[in-house]
Amino acid sequence: MMTSNGELNIPDIPAISGTTTQEYAYERLRNAIMLGAIEPGTSLTIRGLAERLNLSPTPIREAVRRLSSQHAIQIKDNRRMAVPLMTPNRFEELVALRIAVEVHTAQRALPYMSDFIIEKLTALDDRMDELIFDRDLDQLTLLNQAFHRTLYTVNPAQTSMPIIESIWLQLGPFQRQVLTRVTEYYEIDRHKEILTALTTRDATALIDAITNDIKDGVLKSGRNLLALIDAA
C-alpha cells in the first residue's frame, strides 16, 4: 500500500527511550507488516526502506533478517524482497494454528480474569464498534490486537504471546486485504460472546467464542478472498 505520493506506507510508532536504531527499524517494519500497511507481493529493497525510514542500510538489513526468519519478509534471488503472497494451504495452516494457540491461552487466562479487566475489554470493544463505521482500519486492527492481548496476558505465567504475535505478523498483510476487499466479513460480534463468557467464567463458552471469532473474522472471509483471487 502506497501513500498519495507513491511512497511505502510505513506508519510511525511512538519512540521508546533507550531503543537502538536497529530495534526501532525492526519494530517499525514489524508494525507496518502486522497492520497490513505493506500489501502482500509488494517489492522491497534495503535502499528503499532505508530512504523511507530515513536510516542507514545497516539497521534495515538487520531488521529484514529478523523479519525473514519470522516468515514476514521473503528474500528473493535477485536481492529484492517482498511481503509473501498468501496461499490457500499456508492460510489454512496459520488459521488452524491461531485457533489452537489462542484457545489454549484464553483458557489459561480465565482463572485470573477480574471485573476490572472485563471493563477494560468492554471499552476496547465499544471503541472498535465505532471504528467499524469510520473504516479506520489501522486503529481497528490495533484495537483488535489489544483486545486479545489484554485477555491473554492476564495469566502472569503465559508464554504464548510471542507465538500468537508471530501468527498475527504472518496473517496481517493478507487480513488487511480482506478488510479492504471483502465488504461483508463478520456477521456476529463474537467479542460480545467472549465478554459474556468471561463475565460468567464459562470456559466452554469462552472456547467456542474464541474459535468462532477467528473463524468468522479470519477464516471465512479469507477463504472468500482467496477464491476471488483464484478466479481473477
User: Where in the sequence of the chain do the CATH 1.20.120.530 domains occur?
Assistant: 88-231
Phi, psi of 184 (to 5 degrees): -110, 105
- Of the two residues 25 and 217, the one the predictor is more confident about is 25
Rg of the Cα atoms in the chain = 18
pLDDT in tens, 40-66: 998 899 999 999 999 999 999 999 999
CA dist 139 and 132 (Å) reads 10
pLDDT at 115 over 80: yes
Judged by DSSP in three states, 143 sits in: helix
Q: Which runs of consecutive H residues, i.e. helices, occur in 153-201?
A: 161-181, 190-200
pLDDT in tens, 159-181: 999 999 999 999 999 998 888 87
State percent of the chain over pLDDT 90: 70
In eight-state DSSP terms, residue 112 is G
Contact 210, 152 (CB under 8 A): no
pLDDT at 106 over 60: yes
Regarding the domain delimited by 88-231, which CATH topology (the fold level of the hierarchy) does it fall under?
Four Helix Bundle (Hemerythrin (Met), subunit A) (1.20.120)
Stated pTM of the model: 0.89
- Residues written for the chain: 232
Task: Give the mean pLDDT of the chain.
Answer: 90
Taking the domain 21-82, which CATH number applies?
1.10.10.10
Q: How confident is the model at residue 7 (pLDDT cuts 50, 70, 90)?
A: low
Judged by DSSP in three states, 74 sits in: strand
CA proximity to 152, closest of 99, 95, 192, 105: 105
User: Where in the sequence of the chain do the CATH 1.10.10.10 domains occur?
Assistant: 21-82
Query: Is residue 184 exposed (0-12), middle (13-18) or buried (19+ Cβ within 10 Å)?
Result: exposed
pLDDT at 149 over 90: yes
Mean pLDDT of 218-232: 88
